Structure 1
């Protein structure tokens, strides 16, 4: 069965990618597989960092709850119209997405992520990794215009630059 795989985090960009993935799944008559990757707190069970044995289970529970929230928010108004499977995967987002979309007939959708140089330095691009390592076609969804404007407003607030409300209506 063909699948459309999309990674989500709950950001505006990932919700936009989720909606695009649902549209692609309807067109292709494919299953929509929504992936949320989770990483356990530093260390693993049995390590010397002092984590309780229940830390990985708590992390997984939080990831499942987060995935439910994202799907509820994204499809509150209208259902996706395709078979949908939610999946929480332990590991990095980029590896989880490439491993999930391993069939050549699959389609992998990812958000383009931040284009800010500092953020790219601190957090490697999931989209670039998927483009380089996926065995299937990859569709990178650009950020929404609203997301770009919100970023501008946040930067202006951070630097305490006055905002003229007329600039928002252009």
Structure 2
């Protein structure tokens, strides 16, 4: 794949883990984008993709019912706003880290970022389709069987459901360029 340069869009899913950043480095080292054409309106790109957890996932942290007989299903707006602000800071840190890695490769305008909110398994597969990605690159955290049973494997789900080839960089894979 490194010599062809036939890829128009490479979607790299990052979640802040070292495994996802390793997958990003692997993609930048080994995948080449198609040369842009003068008549093309959409330039080839590496898309750094991040899925932010919806605030409702953190509802387990909600302070709960208002004491002394208050309603039990009211959301506390300040609490929700604080969770959203915290998630925004996490997302910015993840993207800054990923863009720092990309800057070492002098790709300039060939790198874009895209952030969505939702379930990573579903949102990654949707993005592959919506953004017309030629390939999806992602890291694998190599959860053990117990964690995988409860949490599921995002990379396994995407390998079976994404409408494009999926490259999964495992924990022990080298990020060095393939010769």
1:90 and 2:117 are equivalent in the alignment: yes
Can you give the 5+ residue segments of structure 2 that lack an aligned partner in the other structure? 1-6, 36-43, 60-72, 175-179
Runs of 4+ in 1 over 6 A off after TM superposition: none
Q: 1:31 to 1:104 in 2, by over 3 A?
A: closer
Higher relative CO (Cα under 8 Å, sequence separation at least 6) belongs to: 2
Can you give the 5+ residue segments of structure 1 that lack an aligned partner in the other structure? 147-170
The TM-score, its normalising length taken from structure 2, stands at: 0.65
Per-residue CA deviation, residues 117-156 of structure 1 (Å, 9 max, x unaligned), is 122122110111111111111111111369xxxxxxxxxx
Give the Cα separation in 2 of the matches to 1:76 and 1:82: 11
Q: 1:42 to 1:104 in 2, by over 3 A?
A: closer
Which range moves more in the overlay, 127-136 or 102-111?
Answer: 102-111
User: Equivalent residue for 2:51?
Assistant: 37
User: Equivalent residue for 1:48?
Assistant: 74
**3-state DSSP of counterpart to 1:26:** coil
Give the Cα separation in 1 of the matches to 2:140 and 2:154: 8
Q: 1:123 to 1:106 in 2, by over 3 A?
A: same
Q: Which has the larger radius of gyration?
A: 2
Q: 1:33 to 1:77 in 2, by over 3 A?
A: closer
> What value does the CA root-mean-square deviation take over the aligned residues?
2.9
1:56-135 map, 5 Å: 57-58=84-85, 61-75=88-102, 77-80=104-107, 83-102=110-129, 106-135=134-163
**3-state DSSP of counterpart to 2:49:** strand
1:7-18 map, 5 Å: 7-18=13-24
